[in-house]
Amino acid sequence: MSLNNIFNFLNNVSHIPPIIENIIDYTDNDILTTYFRYNISLKLKKYIMKNDILVYGKVQSGKTNEIINIIYTHNCYKIILVIQNSIMVLNQYITRFNSCNLQVNVIDSNNTKINNGINIILNNKHRRKFLSNKNLKSFIFLFDEADLTCNYYNLSIGFKRYYITATPFNMKIPFDKIIHINEPFNYYGIDKLQIDYFDLDYSNVFNDFLNQPSGILLISHHILIEDMLNSALQLSLIYPNIIFITLNSVVNKITNGSVKKLKKQSINKIIDSFNTTSHLVFISHRLSCRGLSYVNSSFTRNITHQILYLSNNISNNIQKLRICGIYKNNPTLKLYINSFDLFKKMLISI
């Protein structure tokens, strides 16, 4: 077997080390075997294993589906999926995995057992400390929203690492491979949005919103929880027939100046509970930035309008585009922004 044959063989192999030693047995030339073992085996191991893999796709273009595909591909391996520190994101993952008949083990303060299958862990200091004391050399790690979550971990953790994000621009990891997620034909990105200017006057936004037979509006420019609630209260008095939902550590329903605390659950279940309501408004900040999809369980209802206050942080601006996504219903989507200059900078980055 020639050295070229070995490289061709290795190029088509997707998993790990025993292969390297087996190939030595395939060679019938002692000189070649010696050369292989002592001079290029380490390089070939790196070549074959491709330890650090970036999975890049546009906002809400199918990254969760790609994570599920990776899990299926490595179904014989132990996996730890690291997600951002959000119970709502966790609930969304659990719902999605259950729909695919994937059994997952959530590691938290009540469950400190790491299973041999799929494990999910929130990216916070308590869970990171828990992992730091474990032997994880045999695990595959998946870092969702990797430009945030992987920064706290030793980059040699596990034997293989996937970094999934829509904003890898500032990541310094020397990736061995990049997987680009191709958007399906029914992906609605920035190029399919109607763009309008927002000057803190809600009247034009609500005129557009209520002109449609139904819709979901996401207001994501308030930073303080108090401002979110006050805005919902004021708007609910102007538009008494609309249900407003504020999302933060507490989920509130506001109608006609009245506030009711709701059970904290995944966003799709919240939307499901108001399926007979034609117009629904979410007011959120941190929970409108990353990871969360504002759709119902059947993926037939989604954001139709969004107010987005752009900043100089391009990654955050991109991640806040919750209005983008894969939709079945050929929607008309409208985005309201505070700065066309910042919007152009974001377009250049994408």
Model pLDDT for residues 109-136, shown as the tens digit of each residue: 999 999 999 999 999 999 988 998 888 9
Say how far apart CA 11 and CA 9 lie, in whole Å: 5
Using an 8 Å Cβ cutoff, are 158 and 141 in contact?
A: yes
Using an 8 Å Cβ cutoff, are 297 and 208 in contact?
A: no
Higher pLDDT, 106 or 345: 106
Residues of the chain within CATH 3.40.50.10810 domain(s) are 52-180
Angle value at C-alpha 27, between 177 and 138, nearest 5 degrees: 40
**Architecture of the domain spanning 187-349:** 3-Layer(aba) Sandwich (3.40)
From the candidate CATH numbers 3.30.420.40, 1.25.50.20, 3.40.50.10540, 3.40.50.10810, the one assigned to the domain spanning 52-180: 3.40.50.10810
| pLDDT of res. 36 | 53
Q: Which residues, in sequence order, are bridge partners of residue 306?
A: 218, 335
- In this structure, what token pair is assigned to residue 91? 């609930």
Residues of the chain within CATH 3.40.50.300 domain(s) are 187-349
**Locus of tokens 């609605």:** 188
Q: Quick check: helix, strand or coil at residue 103?
A: coil
Model-level pTM?
0.81
- 18-26 and 41-49 helices cross at what angle (nearest 10)? 130
Query: Is residue 280 predicted with pLDDT exceeding 90?
Result: yes
Rg (CA), the chain: 24
Q: What is the pLDDT of residues 2-40, one digit of tens each?
A: 545 555 554 454 444 444 545 545 555 555 555 555 555
- In this structure, what token pair is assigned to residue 62? 């199918």
> What's the whole-number mean pLDDT along residues 203-219?
96
| pLDDT of res. 222 | 87
> What's the whole-number mean pLDDT along residues 322-340?
93
Using an 8 Å Cβ cutoff, are 105 and 44 in contact?
A: no
